[in-house]
Amino acid sequence: MIGVIAKPSQLEAVEEFFQLFKTPWEFYRPEAAYSVVLATADVACLNCNLLLLFGSERKSIDRDLGIAPGRRSDSVVSEWRDTPLPIYTGVCNLSPSGNAFVTAGGEAIGVRIQHGRSTVIRLGYDLFEEVSWLLMNSQPLEHAHTPALDLHIDLIRSSILSAGLPLMEIPPAPAGHPFAACLTHDIDFVGIRPHKFDHTMFGFLYRATVGVVSNVLRGRLSVRRLLDAWCAVAKLPFVYLGWVEDFWEPFEWYLKAEEGLPATYFLIPFKRRAGEAVAVPHVSRRATAYDVTDIRSSMARLREHGCEIGVHGIDSWHSIERGRAELGRVAETARQSSTGIRMHWLLQDGSTASVLEEAGYAYDSTAGYNETIGYHNGTGQVFRPLGARTLLELPMHIQDGALFFPGQMNLSADEAEQRCRCFIENAVRFGGVLTLLWHDRSHAPERFWGDFYLRLLEQVRAPKPWFGSAAQVVDWFRKRRDVSFERIDISDGFSSHLQYEGVEIKPPLCVRMYRSGRGTPGEAVSDFVDIPWNGMSLEGLERQLPSFFANAVANPIIS
């Protein structure tokens, strides 16, 4: 059981942090005993096995520890476990720098000290200020590839285990799977047929003739694809006449490519609406030539294949009234009682989460980048944006346009594959969900990004994740959030028991029990036991690991 001492302004961030790091904790009570105390507020010397003390300001205990906080920086890129970890809200170096395990610019910002019978890990930044910042802001593009929040969780876990303390945790992935995978599609076009003599048609003609030649010369497209593009241009009049298939039609291609996998399609609620309060260039191009009422048969076919329909919102990001209208339009047409949203062009501001929640959306999946692939809020987990009460955010990590568009990352297929592989490896390491976004016409002329998508799917499949629609993934994480830990004080310490009052969890959670074993805070610890749990009964857990339930989960120092 972790006792948490935080500043009054940080309570919401503390609660959300421990929804992501799902382990027994409570706000510190002086009369209770704890094996671990995690503090960002000033504390005197506490009687515990491990004190995790954060903050760039001087602490009362620093002199006793022989620590002198030094120069303060507004932000730095630190290094922990050979991994860059950006700190955004202020950090100070700590001297002397012996026993340093987190550094920045060659100086210690994290040190480990033995103080009597306790271990103290002193870090020169405020954990919950970092958590608040990450949950409320977009990471800068230069750090988008870093799962900063997940690294903070990993650092805390490693510190506890390296102090020789056992740990119970519910990892952010279903039992038997390293992570969840979510396939999504933003549908801005349902074909080229509705576009006659507009910027979409003329843009296609230019890119499918001059543009593809440039890509062939740069080695980005094969000669075969050049011929395919020119063939599509030749077919265009016949597409308009309805004599040949519309080569931009997205649904059948994706149903075949993702056969057996649930996917989520975000559809436009109202056509010919560019939206209000949009301060970006070419806003008129945000209006679409279709809406959900034009594709009822396609929606029915998607539902038959186990796919989900979501809202590709236009004005929901800033208007409760318009958000309700857009939600109602899609929900009624799709015949769904619960619906999520991703904003068209990923528009959002600081109030978007509360606006979407008030409008009635089940979840949002706008947290992502147009310019790059990455961790918008520093995590691969579904999370609750600060300020929202029930709305959960499904982060979006990899999208086609960011990878391949000129002016964005503009990568070759080999470069994109290397970048995406890092995200798959992070998902295996940290759990959470890996969310892909592939747009409607990305498989077709003139983009031809479908071949890459098929290879990417195979790479994502290889570690055997659990594939779920956006709603299914969010629902699984919501059930995980509903699990709590009950502290039971006993004669020689305390025990932590799981509590859950919801419906059966499918696929089941994983209850992970780490055995104690001393080491250093930078060492990986793999000595653990995993037990699947569907939330229905604790008997199986108690039977398989009696030592963890009959005795204290942690054995605190008691004076």
- SS3 category, 182: strand
Same structural domain, 405 and 468: yes
Measured over the CA atoms of residue 241, residue 242, residue 243 and residue 248, the dihedral's sign is positive
Residue 540 maps to a domain: no
Whether residue 185 contacts residue 442, with contact meaning beta carbons closer than 8 Å, is answered with no
- Whether cis (ω within 30° of 0) applies to the bond prior to 385 is no
Q: How far is the first Cα of the chain from the last one, in angstroms, to the nearest whole number?
A: 17
Residue 262 neighbours by CB under 8 Å, 6+ apart: 183, 306, 307, 308, 467, 468, 469, 472
pLDDT in tens, 102-134: 999 889 999 999 888 889 999 999 999 999 999
- SS3 category, 334: helix
Same structural domain, 117 and 254: no
Same structural domain, 281 and 407: yes
Same structural domain, 329 and 450: yes
Measured over the CA atoms of residue 535, residue 538, residue 540 and residue 545, the dihedral's sign is positive
Measured over the CA atoms of residue 83, residue 84, residue 90 and residue 95, the dihedral's sign is positive
Q: How many domains does one find in the chain?
A: 3
Residue 280 maps to a domain: yes
Per DSSP, the chain holds a count of helices (H) and strands (E) of: 17, 25
Say what the pLDDT of residue 36 is.
Answer: 95
Same structural domain, 286 and 147: no
Q: 70 pLDDT exceeds 90?
A: no
Same structural domain, 238 and 268: no
pLDDT in tens, 169-178: 999 999 999 9
Say what the pLDDT of residue 552 is.
Answer: 37
Whether residue 483 contacts residue 499, with contact meaning beta carbons closer than 8 Å, is answered with yes
Q: pTM of the entire structure? A: 0.93
CATH number of the domain residue 106 falls in: 3.40.50.880
- Looking at 4-8, 191-195, 537-541, which range is the least confident one? 537-541
Q: Ranked by mean pLDDT, which of 2-11, 57-66, 519-528 comes out on top?
A: 2-11
Say what the pLDDT of residue 490 is.
Answer: 59
Task: Give dist(CA 135, CA 421) in Å, integer.
Answer: 25
Same structural domain, 211 and 86: no
Of 476, 492, 512, the residue at which a domain comes to its end is 476
Residue 522 maps to a domain: no
Same structural domain, 7 and 56: yes
DSSP state of 163: B
CATH number of the domain residue 280 falls in: 3.20.20.370
Residue 521 maps to a domain: no
Same structural domain, 253 and 230: no
Say what the pLDDT of residue 556 is.
Answer: 33
Kindly write down the DSSP assignment for every residue of 455-513, as one continuous string: HHHHHHHTT-PEE--HHHHHHHHHHHHH-EEEEEEETTEEEEEEE--SSPPSSPEEEEE
Say what the pLDDT of residue 553 is.
Answer: 39
Domain assignment of residue 237, given as a range: 196-242
Residue 74 maps to a domain: yes
Same structural domain, 327 and 230: no
Say what the pLDDT of residue 557 is.
Answer: 32
Better-predicted residue by pLDDT, 280 or 298? 298
